[in-house]
Structure 1
């Protein structure tokens, strides 16, 4: 079923569906820049959101708790974590006065790390990566990166890009763990695939932003300017799953966010998430989450995560 395209507002936030206004809508941000968060004091969020960049959180003081893909994860001071922003996430609690540095890294930087296959694969499959070896100077460096990114000088940004890329490589070398205990090997992409990073980034963005619409694997390939067959092979080698699996994954991500952030009827959740039939939605949801949507909502409501209709 074809759907109207979402409208991007001046802040770059895309509501899942423009004509509805639930108390706490899932928001997709259309900003793909290499940038830093302006606020350092952590605030609780009204509902889940998504964005295309890799997000790095370095907690300076206090502790913060994320709802992330159906789990609650707490990150305390002195810890460095990163995750893919297209997995719905929400800060649901924090200690008073918690401060952090939040950096947003375009997928092109991350995809270009040719030797970090398992590391990349874990991130794109929904891992929350924690660096196990932090250096005494990390705090000072992250503060400087934030300042230079906020300043916006292109020369500074390129330097930060190089330095941050090296830091990611050190995380992979020095040790990391997946806080959700996920991860698997990522198939390598050969050097003959010239420009593959740009193509894969375009496909990932298109899926992340358009999965709730009536799109196919062919549409994803065309969005990257590729023949569908070549696009499907390239995507599978780079990300480790098929384009269709990625589309379903994002539709389920949207569905679980709507289940926890609103009292929207299950049928409408399925429609808003991009599923053409209720039976297809139920089958896919139960396969991934091992329970029915209504049970999932009830369990999350019992934990206080789901927004009440009266709020």
Structure 2
């Protein structure tokens, strides 16, 4: 009998680059510990089944399920069928904020819910395989097309039945093997930041919401996620600002204020440090990138509907 190989995440760190898109189409390894990544995870179960331990609940995804959940809370693939093939990606927050999802769904996801749609077909497997190839091709135009098509596919979920898990009656407690990663303190911190990052908040406000001392909140969060509280809040604000900058006729100062930066100078400094360019340059580069055929018309229709 072939011995199962496991994946062990690195100790206490948000994996990968939070602003980088990664996509996959493969057979995953069962995990021995939870991990975090500051992106939204998209899963499509091509074949077999996958069992996840999320923050505070468990869920099993079956073949044909299309799933969306926030990877910034601890989660782990703790069991799966031998024939599991899954596809999907880690979607940076900038693209998540571009999605035309209802505010209630967006909030539920950021609080740890998983959105599951069973309204899929064979074309999804083909599309996810192609998107993965495009993103890994090194061709910026192919990668851009993959992102745009993926976002449109996710938005189509709203036209079909879907569920948000856990539902109250189905929620299952997660026991064992997750230690400090599921600390209620860290979960309360993430909830508060998700709801309030566009406001003028600091570590004192965040700690008060979690009912702990600010220094303790900073230490627990850093140990659990590998990020400081300030870095995490800045990431949320920056990603939201990037999504706003992709819209037409936006004022950079207003974007800075609406994203929670408090001043244009603070916004410019954070933006340049993270992206290597100014907000104005980012907006210009985004607007000059060729759009896939038909997408511009869709954007115009959405603007006037």
TM-score category, normalised to shorter length: 0.5 to 0.7
Cα displacement (A) at 1:164? 1.2
* Cα separation, partners in 2 of 1:164 and 1:233, compared to 1, 3 Å: closer
For residues 58-69 of structure 1, what are the structure 2 equivalents within 5 Å?
A: 58-69=44-55
Q: Which has the higher helix share?
A: 2
Query: What TM-score do the two structures reach when normalised by structure 1?
Result: 0.52
- Gap runs ≥5 in structure 1: 1-12, 17-26, 183-210, 221-230, 237-241, 256-267, 275-311
Query: What TM-score do the two structures reach when normalised by structure 2?
Result: 0.53
Q: What is the root-mean-square deviation of aligned Cα atoms in Å?
A: 3.7
Q: Provide, for residues 161-198 of structure 1, a one-character-per-residue CA deviation record: whole Å limited to 9, x for no partner.
A: 1111111211123232112127xxxxxxxxxxxxxxxx
Cα displacement (A) at 1:115? 5.2
Aligned-partner Cα distance in 2 for 1:245–1:176: 35
Q: Which residue of 1 aligns with 2:80?
A: 94
1:34 and 2:21 are equivalent in the alignment: yes
Cα displacement (A) at 1:271? 10
Cα displacement (A) at 1:69? 0.9
- Gap runs ≥5 in structure 2: 1-8, 169-184, 226-305
Q: Which residue of 2 aligns with 1:131?
A: 117
* Cα separation, partners in 2 of 1:273 and 1:77, compared to 1, 3 Å: closer
Q: Which residue of 2 aligns with 1:79?
A: 65
Q: Which residue of 2 aligns with 1:147?
A: 133
Aligned-partner Cα distance in 2 for 1:244–1:121: 18
User: Is the Cα contact below 8 Å between 1:14 and 1:30 reproduced in 2?
Assistant: no
Cα displacement (A) at 1:233? 7.4
Q: Provide, for residues 30-56 of structure 1, a one-character-per-residue CA deviation record: whole Å limited to 9, x for no partner.
A: 41211213x611211120000011111
Cα displacement (A) at 1:234? 2.5
User: Is the Cα contact below 8 Å between 2:42 and 2:89 reproduced in 1?
Assistant: yes
* Cα separation, partners in 2 of 1:246 and 1:43, compared to 1, 3 Å: farther
Q: Which residue of 2 aligns with 1:297?
A: none
Cα displacement (A) at 1:232? 5.1
Q: Provide, for residues 43-89 of structure 1, a one-character-per-residue CA deviation record: whole Å limited to 9, x for no partner.
A: 11120000011111111111111111132211111111110101100
Cα displacement (A) at 1:160? 1.1
